[in-house]
Amino acid sequence: MSDTPILTITGLRAKVADEDLDILKGVDLELQPGEIHAIMGPNGSGKSTLAKVLAGHPEYEVTGGEVTFNGASLLDLEPNERALAGLFLAFQYPVEVPGVSIANFLRTALQARLEDGEEVDLFDFQDELIDRMKLLDMEPAFAERPVNDGFSGGEKKRNEILQMAVLRPSLALMDETDSGLDIDALQIVARGVNTLRDENPEMTILLITHYQRLLNFIKPDVVHVMVGGRIVRSGGPEVALELEEQGYADWKDQEVVTA
Amino acid sequence: MPENELVKGLGLDEYQYGFVDDEAHVFRTRPGLDEDIVRQISKHKDEPEWMLEFRLKALKIYERKPMPTWGGDLSDLEATLDEIYFYVKPQDHMERSWDDVPDTIKTTFERLGIPDAEQKLLAGVGAQYESEMVYHSLKEEWSSQGVIFDSIEDGLKNHPELFREHFATIIPAADNKFAALNSAVWSGGSFVYVPRGVELKTPLQAYFRVNQERMGQFERTLIIIDEGAQAHYIEGCTAPVYSTESFHSGVIEIVLKKDARFRYTTIQNWSNNMYNLVTQRAVVNENATMEWLDGNLGSKLTMKYPSCYLMGEGAHGEIMSIAYASDGQHQDTGGKVVHVAPNTTSSIISKSISKGHGRSSYRGLCKVYEGAINARSNVECDALLIDETSRTDTYPYIEIEEKRSSVGHEATVSRVGDAQLFYLMSRGLTQEEAMALIVRGFIEPIAKELPLEYAVELNRLIELEMEGSVG
């Protein structure tokens, strides 16, 4: 692992575009290549907002701070430019795109990564897609279904990981990928993520979750606790276990004190 | 070519089919319309007396009927009609072989990919250039099966009884003002007859384009599918971009005899100065199946409602349509199904997309006559709005006289959402690519019914249209 962080967040503040109050109130975070970080926190603490702001969601507005991704400023980039730079957001609520098959969508996404004049080789793509689907226990026919249209919650989450597996980001933000998954599906997803990391040890992951459960399957190097739009504690995996026992009550009290 | 320079100057050059070739016509009437012009057209075509009388009678009906006050805005049309040429003849005689087609016309076709398509798929090509067939070929095996695929003029000349038996019986001149106009000045179009029991595997294609400024195009097509026969007719056209108004008013008549199956596919991509007012109707007899697959892009105003008259027991009618309205365009489209006999079934699926200040309207009629027991009809219309300024309306007319029937209607309106765009962009697509993908997904249920090369062309047009759609 190199000493240059892949992602550096400094004093990041952000709000919903047409509202007044900041949701992120000065987030500091540093991820080294290949690390797995988990951010835990209660509802409304700003975890998902952080993921969306990093991916460039138009609903949010950055009001302060900086984010450096691979040595360049991230916040000036359009969402698609961030994706091409290697960032991937696995959505908490994946969006339905009726009439567009997963295969077609992914081929278009891969095509976007090529230079003008280059074309995705259809046969290579087909092989790759089938290979990636096997990794996630998916039937090949799944690729012909319209993106997230009529999917169960579990199928949507698995589809997110499939996209991640095909697009091979250097930084994956996984926003509550575990919610709505039963234990079998959770294990499949975790196995997929771990395989991707075995294939590319440099792949960096930021997991956002309510629960310790996911962390039994995807082992984090660092666990952060986010409360009231700030990281209030960072530590090793033991932090997650503490939270599981004690909940967030202590941190909430602290927020009231500091507010 | 100066026209091309002009087009470029207008910044319209991204419209890839908006090119103009040197005009190669040899005869045209003066602008405007009166009895003398109708007589000239008929004389020029060397028509029998009954056709001249039909035309003159139709002209009177046209003059008598007021402009429709429903549908789109036709207030500028009267002035337009005073200026257009109602008849333009590009050549003296029909061409049989590709080599004989004049070079300027060939250039146009080559740019549209016609010779290519000819080699690959086309069995018979009736390509209409300006007002008349210039190129027409028919596969030998079809001739031997008795299939007729001719220009409408040759249909009248060579098959007078068959022609007269059906001509204007589906759409009489008095049907509406523009049917009357077409009846008076019609020129060009196809005459198709598929004999009893003949099943055509490859589609019949007519590719035509309007290629003269201020020119009216009044094609007339008559198709007869005899008992148990099956065929698919494909017509597509693109028009060059011009600054003055243009006008197109076709009449398409189709008869399906007992147990026949027929699909009529058309994609029209008119330049955005075109009034496109078309009447197309099929009479569907016992256990026959008629399918309209209709794509309307471009034009200033399109008013077009393919119809199925389900006259025989067990007849089935299907209308699938896509409309795309951009800035300054109004697509007033939909379909009509009329259930006359028992156990008739129909479905209408209509998808429209409005962008910028474009407006698309769904206008449909489902009528069930008394005695059409167990008639079943289902109408689904979905509208997609690209911008805040885009507009869509729905005018579903349902008239049911038979209690023992069932009619369903479902309409949705959706707007391309930020959430959808962001989702696709977060995977690396530009906003335009994301938009194009969403639109393609929206029309996919109908696009997948299109012949491959048409689906490809449609996708390409949508991509072009989505360029610069987001600001």
Q: Quick one: which of A206, A202, A201, A193 has its CA closest to A157? A: A193
- Report CB contact under 8 Å: A105, B433: no
B249-297 pLDDT, tens digit each: 999 999 999 999 999 998 877 777 889 999 999 999 999 999 999 998 8
User: A59 vs B418: CB contact, 8 Å cut-off?
Assistant: yes
For residue B224, what pLDDT is reported? 98
Distance CA B381, CA A144 (A): 25
Separation CA B113–CA A87 (nearest Å): 42
Contact residues, chain B, for A100 at CB < 8 Å: 437-438, 440-441, 444
The verdict on a CB contact (< 8 Å) between A82 and B426 is: yes
CB-CB under 8 Å, B426 with A88: yes
Partner-chain contact A99 B442, CB within 8 Å: yes
| pLDDT above 70 (res B408) | yes
Whether residues B425 and A146 touch (CB distance < 8 A) is answered with no
Using CA atoms, how far residue A154 sits from A189, B60, B267, B371, in Å, is 10, 68, 40, 51
Contacts of B426 in chain A (CB under 8 A): 55-56, 79-80, 82-83, 88-89, 91
Distance between CA atoms of residues B316 and B337, nearest Å: 10
Please write the tens of the pLDDT for every residue from A76-109: 999 999 999 999 999 999 999 999 999 999 999 9
Within 8 A of A84 by CB-CB distance, chain B residues are 428
Q: Which of A57, A94, A113 sits opposite B428 (nearest CB)?
A: A113
pLDDT of residue B140: 66
Nearest residue on chain B to A104, alpha-carbon basis: B437
Q: Check: CB of residue A10 under 8 Å from CB of residue A74.
A: no
Mutation test of the interface with chain A: which of B384, B412, B415, B427, choosing the one with the most A Cβ atoms within 10 A?
B427
The β-bridge relationship of strands B274-284 and B251-256 is: parallel
Q: What is the DSSP string of B92-120?
A: SS---SGGGS-HHHHHHHHHTTHHHHHHH
pLDDT at B138 exceeding the cut of 70: no
pLDDT of residue A107: 95
Question: How far off is chain B from A136, nearest CA to CA, in Å?
Answer: 19
CA gap B265, B449 in Å, rounded? 9
Q: For residue B24, is pLDDT > 60? A: no
B26 CB burial (10 A radius; 0-12, 13-18, 19+):
exposed
Q: How far is B18 from chain A (nearest CA, A)?
A: 25
pLDDT reported for residue A253: 54
Nearest chain A CA: its distance from B439 CA (Å): 9
The average pLDDT across B192-198 equals 96
Interface of B with A (CB under 8 A): 418-420, 422-431, 433-434, 437-438, 440-445
Yes or no, beta carbons of B423 and A91 under 8 Å apart: yes
Higher pLDDT, B237 or A192: A192
Among B372, B169, B429, residue whose Cα is nearest residue A82:
B429
* Cα–Cα dist B249/B181, whole Å: 8
3-state secondary structure of B442: helix
Residue B104: is its pLDDT beyond 70? Answer: no
Within a 13 Å sphere around the CA of B126, how many CA atoms are in the beta-carbon half?
A: 26
| DSSP SS3 for B307 | strand
In this complex, the residue of B418, B428, B444 whose CB is nearest that of residue A83 is: B428
φ, ψ dihedrals at B113, nearest 5°: 80, 20
| Cβ atoms of residues A196 and A166 within 8 Å | no
pLDDT at B237 over 90: no
pLDDT confidence band for A15 (50 / 70 / 90):
very high
How far is B29 from B218, CA to CA, in rounded Å?
A: 14
Residue B50 has pLDDT above 60, yes or no: yes
pLDDT, residue A43, reads 87
Pairing outcome for strands B216-217 and B148-151: unpaired
A94–B424 C-beta distance less than 8 A: no
Q: The tokens of A93 are what?
A: 């609520």
Rounded Cα distance between B174 and B62, Å, is 8
**Between residues B5 and B395, which one has the greater pLDDT?**
B395
Question: With contacts defined as CB-CB under 8 Å, which chain A residues touch B422?
Answer: 55-58, 79, 95
For residue A173, what is the nearest residue in chain B, using CA coordinates? B426
How far apart are the C-alpha atoms of A10 and A23, rounded to whole Å? Answer: 15
pLDDT band at B420 (very low <50, low <70, confident <90, very high): very high
Residues of B in contact with A96 (CB under 8 A): 420
Task: Give the length of chain B.
Answer: 471
pLDDT band of B125, cuts 50, 70, 90: very low
CB A32 within 8 A of CB A5: yes
pLDDT averaged over every residue in chain B: 81
What is the identity of the amino acid at A248? Y
> Backbone phi, then psi, for B48, in 5-degree steps?
-65, 160
Query: For residue B239, what pLDDT band results from cuts at 50, 70 and 90?
Result: very low
Residue A35: per-residue pLDDT:
96
Handedness of CA B424, B445, B458, B383 (dihedral sign): negative
First to last CA, chain A: 38
CA B300 to chain CA mean position, Å: 15
pLDDT category at B337 given cuts 50, 70, 90 is: very high
- How many beta-carbon contacts under 8 Å exist across A and B? 79
**Per-residue model confidence as pLDDT tens digits over B106-115:** 554 555 544 4
Closest CA to B20 of B78, B79, B100, B107: B107
β-pair type (B375-385, B345-354): parallel
Q: Which residues of B touch A99 (CB under 8 A)?
A: 440-445
Measured over the CA atoms of residue A78, residue A84, residue A90 and residue A94, the dihedral's sign is: positive
Angstrom distances, CA of residue A20 to CA of A15, A24, A65, B330: 7, 12, 17, 41
Q: How many helices (H) and strands (E) does chain B have?
A: 13, 24
Query: Which residue of A82, A97, A111, A120 to mutate against B (max B Cβ within 10 Å)?
Result: A97
Q: What is the pLDDT of residues A22-42, one digit of tens each?
A: 999 999 999 999 999 999 998
Q: Which pLDDT band holds residue B451 (cuts at 50, 70, 90)?
A: confident
Spatial distance between the Cα atoms of B412 and B435, rounded to a whole number of angstroms? 19
Whether A50 and A39 have beta carbons less than 8 Å apart is answered as yes
Q: How far is CA A183 from the centre of its chain?
A: 20
Instruction: Indicate yes or no: CB of B429 within 8 angstroms of CB of A113.
Output: no
Give B465's Cβ-side CA count (13 Å radius): 27
- Determine the Cα–Cα distance for residues A129 and B405; give it in Å rounded to an integer: 48
How far, in Å, CA of B122 to CA of B205, rounded?
Answer: 7
Nearest-CA distance B463 → chain A (Å) = 13
- Short-list B410, B351, B349, B342, CA closest to B376: B342
Chain A interface disruption, residue of B420, B424, B435, most A CBs within 10 A: B424
Range of lowest pLDDT (A120-124, B382-386, B395-399): A120-124
Closest residue of chain A to B430, computed from CA coordinates? A80
Q: Which range among A148-152, A194-198, A230-234, B451-455 shows the weakest confidence by mean pLDDT?
A: B451-455
d(CA A242, CA A237): 9
Question: How many angstroms separate the CA of residue A148 from the nearest CA in chain B?
Answer: 11
Structure tokens at B146: 């008795």
| Cβ atoms of B219 and B94 closer than 8 Å | no
Greater confidence (B73 vs B469) lies with B73
- Record: contact A108-B426, CB cut-off 8 A: no
Q: Considering just the CA atoms, what is the radius of gyration of chain A in Å?
A: 18
User: Over 70: is that where the pLDDT of B241 sits?
Assistant: no
* Pair A74, A45: CB distance under 8 Å: no
- Residue B462: its pLDDT value, please? 78
Q: Answer yes or no: do A108 and B445 touch at CB < 8 A.
A: no
Task: Encode pLDDT of B299-311 as tens digits.
Answer: 899 999 999 999 9
pLDDT at A191: 93
Task: Sort out which chain B residues have CB atoms less than 8 A from A109's CB and list them.
Answer: 427-429
CA–CA distance, B229 with B289 (Å, rounded to integer): 11
Does B34 or B215 have the greater pLDDT score?
B34
pLDDT at B100 over 70: no
Partner residue facing A99 (CB), from B427, B429, B440? B440
Q: What's the pLDDT tens digit per position in B421-442?
A: 999 999 999 999 999 999 999 9
User: Residues of A with CB below 8 A from B438's CB?
Assistant: 97, 100
What ipTM describes this predicted complex? Answer: 0.94
More confident residue, A74 or B243: A74
How many C-beta neighbours within 10 Å does residue B256 have? 32
Q: How far apart are CA B215 and CA B447, in angstroms?
A: 31
Answer whether residue B179 shows pLDDT above 90: yes
CB burial of A167-193 (b: ≥16 within 10 Å; e: otherwise) equals bbbbbbbbbbbbbebeeebbebbbbbb
Using an 8 Å CB-CB cutoff, list chain B residues near A88. 426
